[in-house]
């Protein structure tokens, strides 16, 4: 158990007027110890608070009275989302990406959580295998919604086998409880070739039309496999397997539309790329609640690039590493590095991206008559395998790519691969070779940055 530590005090706020300082630990609020930022926000919402504060260097803890109205912001941010111990995952899934990480990365990236609070705060997916009656009572009473649940398979034996946890066969009863009590839930199915595809997937998707018919959305995503996996049964999808998965998803989505009025069930963009099939139109993807699962990400980027309008669907992270490194709880997402202003260096603009982005961006540049812009694919040797997304580019791979290119361009780096200014392997943009500028991972932002750097006037859409 650690106390919440104040990381920011707003000027003129009740917290500042009461004398609270950055670095203060708040041991209690009105006599109660907050266990997480959810309780912190509830407690801090009250009027005329009494805080027990521990200050570095002070001989004793002291009580601080904060004069404020009910609902008035306290004006103090804290440095983490969970103050007691994060509930770690006790599953041993053979497809888990955390087990596929190389050694030597930041320690926090190896944290494997299964905490419903991080599901609520950050959109992390939980299997519910560590969920309890008390957890269910709190979620329902405090309306901690939405939550994100990894289902993977409706068949109890298949699910338990995939999670390598006997509770995997029974823990979906908690999904029933959440849905029966009106909690909004978004589900995920990671499809592993030869394990939960084919008839098993068909049964799972039918479950979302029957037993779990009130689940808000379902994201069906492919297995991500790195060179560091030691699981012999795990392998990338073939084009034929991806095509078969898409057929199953599209049948289930069509039935959902007929029976329930919404498609709700979607396959990730990556499945369409693997199967070499056209992506579905943006309008068919409904409210894009699973864009961070790679569903609708490409179409959203394309539309934003063409219209020069920023996307309404925002990306918070890379999916696997959304809540690491003390992500600030007030925004529910780790802040990225600030975007760079476009500069005119006389160097050719070069867009750095992963293998998938290298397929998507060049046609958009040609369409916009930005043919002088080069797209440079960063081969992901750090992870290897089928890892091809821009969000998992590492400093090591980026640096190698820039050096091989000659370092003569103005290299544009998407901010999705940065978390609080750090690349996944721990470096910073300043440590990269050449002239690198950070650009928001948004089509409009990229186009506007390119046109400014080339000295062109942006034409309103």
The answer to whether the beta carbons of residues 390 and 417 sit under 8 Å apart is yes
275 SS3 class: helix
Strands annotated E in 10-135: 25-29, 49-54, 62-66, 76-78
Matching residue, tokens 């995997």: 168
A 10 A CB-CB count for 437 gives: 18
Helix/strand/coil percentages in the chain, nearest 5 = 35, 15, 50
Backbone angles phi, psi at 161, to 5 degrees: -65, -40
Region label for 131, one of left (φ > 0), alpha (ψ between -120 and 50) or beta (otherwise): beta
390 SS3 class: helix
Backbone angles phi, psi at 363, to 5 degrees: -60, -35
pLDDT at position 332 is 40
Q: At the top level of CATH, which class does the domain 98-295 belong to?
A: alpha beta
- Intervals of the chain under pLDDT 50: 314-334, 461
- The H or E element spanning position 259 is helix 239-260
Beta-bridge partner residues of 377: 353
Alpha-carbon distance 456 to 97, whole Å?
43
Alpha-carbon distance 439 to 390, whole Å?
12
Domain regions of the chain by residue span: 6-78, 98-295, 349-453
Instruction: Return the closest-CA partner of residue 212 out of 160, 264, 170.
Output: 264
pLDDT at position 461 is 47
The answer to whether the beta carbons of residues 123 and 318 sit under 8 Å apart is no
Instruction: Return the closest-CA partner of residue 270 out of 244, 302, 246, 287.
Output: 246
For residue 163 the two structure tokens come to 């999670």
pTM above 0.85, yes or no: yes
Backbone angles phi, psi at 374, to 5 degrees: -100, 140
What are the DSSP calls for 346-389, one per residue? Answer: SSPEEEEE-HHHHHHHHHHHHHTT-TT-EEEE---TTT-TT---
Distances in whole angstroms, Cα of residue 229 to Cα of each of 94, 99, 222, 224? 9, 7, 15, 10
User: By CB neighbour count within 10 A (0-12 exposed, 13-18 middle, 19+ buried), where does 133 fall?
Assistant: exposed
The answer to whether the beta carbons of residues 342 and 403 sit under 8 Å apart is no
pLDDT at position 329 is 43
Beta-bridge partner residues of 148: 186
Overall residue count recorded for the chain in this entry: 461
Fold held by 6-78 = Pdz3 Domain (2.30.42)
């Amino acid at each position: 158990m650690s106390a919440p530590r104040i990381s920011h005090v707003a000027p003129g706020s009740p917290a500042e007027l009461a004398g609270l300082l950055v670095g203060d630990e708040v041991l209690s609020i009105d006599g109660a110890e907050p266990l997480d930022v959810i309780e912190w926000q509830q407690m801090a919402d009250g009027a005329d608070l009494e805080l027990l504060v521990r200050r570095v260097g002070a001989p004793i803890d002291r009580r601080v009275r904060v004069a404020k109205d009910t609902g008035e912001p306290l004006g103090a941010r804290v440095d983490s989302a969970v103050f007691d111990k994060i509930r770690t995952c006790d599953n041993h899934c053979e497809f888990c990406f955390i087990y596929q990480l190389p050694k030597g990365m930041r320690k926090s990236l190896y944290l494997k959580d299964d905490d419903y609070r991080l599901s609520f705060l950050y959109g992390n997916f939980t299997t519910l295998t560590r969920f309890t009656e008390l957890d269910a009572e709190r979620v329902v009473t405090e309306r901690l919604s939405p939550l994100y649940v990894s289902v993977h398979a409706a068949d109890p034996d298949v699910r338990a086998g995939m999670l390598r946890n006997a509770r995997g066969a029974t823990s979906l009863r908690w999904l029933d409880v959440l849905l029966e009590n009106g909690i909004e839930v978004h589900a995920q199915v990671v499809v592993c070739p030869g394990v939960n595809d084919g008839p098993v997937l068909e049964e799972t998707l039918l479950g979302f039309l029957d037993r779990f018919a009130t689940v808000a959305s379902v994201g069906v995503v492919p297995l991500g496999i790195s060179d560091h996996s030691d699981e012999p049964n795990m392998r990338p999808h073939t084009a034929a397997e991806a095509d078969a998965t898409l057929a199953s998803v599209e049948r289930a989505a069509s039935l959902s539309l007929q029976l329930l009025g919404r498609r709700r069930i979607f396959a990730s963009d990556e499945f369409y790329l693997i199967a070499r099939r056209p992506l579905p139109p943006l309008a068919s993807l409904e409210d894009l609640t699973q864009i961070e699962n790679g569903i609708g990400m490409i179409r959203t980027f394309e539309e934003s690039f063409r219209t020069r309008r920023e996307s309404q669907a925002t990306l918070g992270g890379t999916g696997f590493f959304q809540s690491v490194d003390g992500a600030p709880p007030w925004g529910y997402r780790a802040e990225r590095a600030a975007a760079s202003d476009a500069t005119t260096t006389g160097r050719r603009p070069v867009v750095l991206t992963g293998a998938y982005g290298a397929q998507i961006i060049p046609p958009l540049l040609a369409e916009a008559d930005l043919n002088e812009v080069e797209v440079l694919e960063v081969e992901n040797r750090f992870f290897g395998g089928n890892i091809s997304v821009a969000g998992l580019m590492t400093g090591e791979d980026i640096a190698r790519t820039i050096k091989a290119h000659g370092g003569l361009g103005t290299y544009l780096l998407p901010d999705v691969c940065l978390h609080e200014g750090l690349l996944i392997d721990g470096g910073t943009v300043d440590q990269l070779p050449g002239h690198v500028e950070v650009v928001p991972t948004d089509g409009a932002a990229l186009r506007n940055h390119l046109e400014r750097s080339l000295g062109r006037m942006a034409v309103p859409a």
